[in-house]
Amino acid sequence: MFDKKNHILAYKQKEVLAIDQDHALFIEAFLRFTRTNQTFIPLIEVADINQYKLHQKKDKIKHALKCVQSKPFIFILHKN
C-alpha cells in the first residue's frame, strides 16, 4: 500500500517531531543554538580592534559573531 517514498514517519526525540532521525537531530541542534544565542548575546560585548570599537548592541554582536572566524582581531568579552 505505501512505498518508502510516500510513507511519512513521525520521529520524536527530546520533544522534536520530524520525518526521520536526521531531521530531528538538525532541528534539535538549531533550537539549541537559538536558545543559547538568546541567553548568551545580552551577556557579551565584542571588541573590534580593526575599527577601535566596543560593540554592545545585539545586532552588532550577532554580525561580529558571524565574522569572528574570517576577520582577525575581533574579541568576544564577557560583561562581568
- Give which of 14, 32, 60, 18 is closest to 76, Cα–Cα: 60
Q: What is the mean pLDDT of the chain?
A: 76
The domain segmentation of the chain, as residue ranges, is 11-78
Q: How many CB atoms lie within 10 A of CB 24?
A: 19
- 30 vs 53, higher pLDDT: 53
Q: For the segment 43-79, what is each residue's pLDDT rounded down to a tens digit?
A: 899 998 988 999 999 888 888 878 777 778 888 888 8
- 52 vs 20, higher pLDDT: 52
CA atoms of 63 and 15, how far apart (whole Å):
30
Q: How many CB atoms lie within 10 A of CB 32?
A: 11
